Each structure stands twice: as structure tokens, then as C-alpha cells.
Amino acid sequence: MSDTVKKFLIIRCGALGDLVYATSIIDAIQLEYGEKSQIDFVCTPGSGTLFNGDSRVNCVYPLKHKKIPLLLSRQKKAVVNASKKEPYDILINFEHGKQFKGLVKSIQATQKIGPLTDGFDSYVPSNIIHMVENTKYFFKEIVSEETLEKSFPKLVGTPKDEVIEKYKLSEKYIIISPSNSHQKKGTLNYRAWENESWKLLIAKLSKEIEVVIIGNRGEDEFFDKLKPYPKNVIDLVAKTSLSDLVGVISSARALVATDTGTAHMASAVNCEVFALIGPTPGDSTGPYQSPHNIVHLISAKLECSPCYKTEVMKNCTDNICMKQISVDMVYNSIKSTKIV
């Protein structure tokens, strides 16, 4: 490990889950180059607040409009100008879209790796299954094999005692995260579980343990369908910052969700996660199983699954792979772990 403090810039502007995958680079950098390494990120404004409570990340450059050319984008220019004043040692880009080409080219860095950089090889070995391993493959050239094996997605949020006091939580609770990012698209939400199933699960669990409900702003219409909540339920929908939410999740006994960002967050803070998987390939895009966490993928295991973004999914009008996940399947899976 070098004593010289190196500067790194990471570009990852996808959905929340994509950014969680990319946090494996933080472990890798700190293990290989030292904990004092300067790590900056370029990411979407909402997802970027994930690092508000994370001292490992020095600076976050928000990039809201990714398709605006560099010459017309104040946010892209801000990144480039900062790199001209203090060039980076290594730029790690995880974005494939051509809208990032000008940005990657213009940033001042001694070394650039990842998509849209010189010499980038997009080939990924066939034995790599999960997207986290895919992500790690792109930066393997700058770290040792030992470091790569020890690097996993990791989030740091508000400390446990602070979130427990702030949101009046008990010492023992389970989180239900029933929504997902496809909730407001106006089409069939193929990742969604039935509303009645969520209501029944919340009712059963709340009789045995405190249940905390989480969700995003602007989803009142969805959550109103799950109300009224029974006793022993705390409603934190749209009431926390992302940093606080990380703290709330990391302090929970477990989290139950579909294949969505909060499930990835749970796996990255070693909170036991129960992910309801239907059309998506859970083994590759679901919450990541590391040596430090426990992930339960709950699926009806239909022959037509996974079918995400295929003609099979487009022709499905009943979302049967999610409907056939019963409340008892989920409840019994949770009970078998003695969490409640």
C-alpha cells in the first residue's frame, strides 16, 4: 500500500441499486491505496445523497441531465474544471452511454479505466453471474486479486442510536418496503407484489414484532391502499433522508422487499433481506450475497421466470410469477430464521 494519498473519481449515474453495486470500489480503493484516499463520485442528485453520512466519500458531483452535451452542461463542466485544477490519479467510469463520452474524455486524470476509455475490454467472463461481480471486473486492473476478493458493496449511514431516538424505534423491528421504482410508470408493474398480500403480511408480522414501513416521496396513492396500518407499525414513508434510511435499515432485524433499491441497500449494510423475485433474474440483479450478509430470494419458481424485458414479459397480462408468491411463503421464510 502506498503512503501517497491518491485521488479517485468514480462515475455512476444509474438507479439507486446501480450506485449500491458501485460502492464495492470504495472498499477496493481503501484496501489497496489506504483509507486516506480521496474518493469523489459523479452520480444522479437523488442517489448521490446516499453518501451524505459517509466519511469515506470526499465529494459528490450531481449530474441531473445526463444527455446534455458537455458544452451546455454546467454540472459536467464543474467536474471537468475541478479536475483541471487538481487532476485525478485514477478515473473509474461505470457508464456505457455515449452521453458520457465527452465527460470521460475531458476529465483530467493520469489513468482512466472502464467503459468509454482507451483500451477498455467490455468482455466479461461467462462465469461471472451477479452484477456486483461484473462491476468489480471493470476495476480489477487497479487492485490486487486479494483486494478484489475482499471488496463488497458497503453503505454508511446515520448511526443506530441516532435513528432509534429520532424516529422512536424499538430495539427490535423489521422493515417492510412494499414499493419499487416502477410504481408510477402507468403500466403493469411486473415487480410488484399484490397489495392485499402486503396488508396481510404486515398484519401478521405486527402481532409479533414492530414493523417499520418505508417508501419514497410522491407515492401516497400507493401507500393509501395499504392503510390503515395495524398497531405496532411505524410509518416512515417519505420521512427520512437517504442517509437516515441507511441507518434505519442497518439497525433492523430484517427487510422485506421486491427486487428494488432498498433490498440492495439492506444487503450492503448486512441487514438480512427477504427479496420477492418474479420476472427479474434474482441471481444476477437481486440483492448481493456476500460473506457478511444473508439474502433470501423468495420466488414462485415458474418455468417462464425470469422473463424480464423479454417478449414473455410483454405478453404477460396477469403478473403470475409475483401473484403466486403467497403470504405464507414469505411469512414462513421469515419465521424459519427466528427473526421474529
- The string of pLDDT tens digits covering residues 189-218 is 778 999 999 999 999 999 999 999 999 998
Number of helices and strands in the chain (H, E): 16, 11
Q: Which among 237, 230, 224 has a CA at the least distance from the CA of 201?
A: 230
Tens of pLDDT, residue by residue over 98-111, are 999 999 999 999 99
* Burial class of residue 202 in the structure, from the number of CB atoms within 10 Å of its CB (0-12 exposed, 13-18 middle, 19+ buried): buried
Residue 53: all three cell numbers together? 453520512
At residue 84, φ and ψ (nearest 5 deg) are -70, -35
| Strand-strand pairing, 38-43 and 254-258 | unpaired
Angle at the Cα of 124 from the Cα atoms of 121 and 128, rounded to 5 degrees? 160
Altogether, the residues listed in the chain come to a count of 340
68 has pLDDT over 70: yes
- What is the set of domains in the chain, with CATH numbers? 7-150 (3.40.50.2000), 160-336 (3.40.50.2000)
Q: Which residue has better confidence, 312 or 23?
A: 23
Q: Is the pLDDT of residue 185 over 70?
A: no
Cell numbers of 178, please?
412494499
The pTM is what?
0.93
The percentage of the chain sitting over the pLDDT mark of 90, rounded to a whole number, equals: 84
d(Cα 225, Cα 220) in Å, to the nearest integer? 9
Q: Which of 214, 135, 132 is nearest to 175 (CA)?
A: 214
Q: E strand or H helix at 223, and its extent?
A: helix 220-224
What pLDDT, in 10s, does the model give residues 152-183? 999 999 999 999 999 999 999 999 999 976 66
pLDDT of residue 184: 60
**pLDDT over 80 (residue 188):** no
* Set of cell numbers at residue 71: 458544452
Say whether pLDDT at 64 is over 90: yes
Q: Are 261 and 181 in contact (CB under 8 A)?
A: yes
Determine if the peptide bond prior to 306 is cis (ω within 30°): yes
Summarize the confidence of residues 50-79 as an average pLDDT.
96
Cell of 39: 474518493
Residue entry with cell 441516532: 162
Q: Is the pLDDT confidence value at 80 over 80?
A: yes
Closest CA to 296 of 258, 248, 246, 239: 258
Q: Which cell numbers hold the place of 258? A: 421486491
Q: What's the DSSP call for residue 63?
A: -
Mean pLDDT on 134-152: 95
Nearest Cα to Cα of residue 132 among 330, 268, 271, 335: 268
- Rg, C-alpha atoms of the chain: 21
- φ/ψ region of 168 (left if φ > 0, alpha if ψ in -120 to 50, else beta) reads left
Count other C-beta atoms under 10 Å from residue 300's C-beta: 16
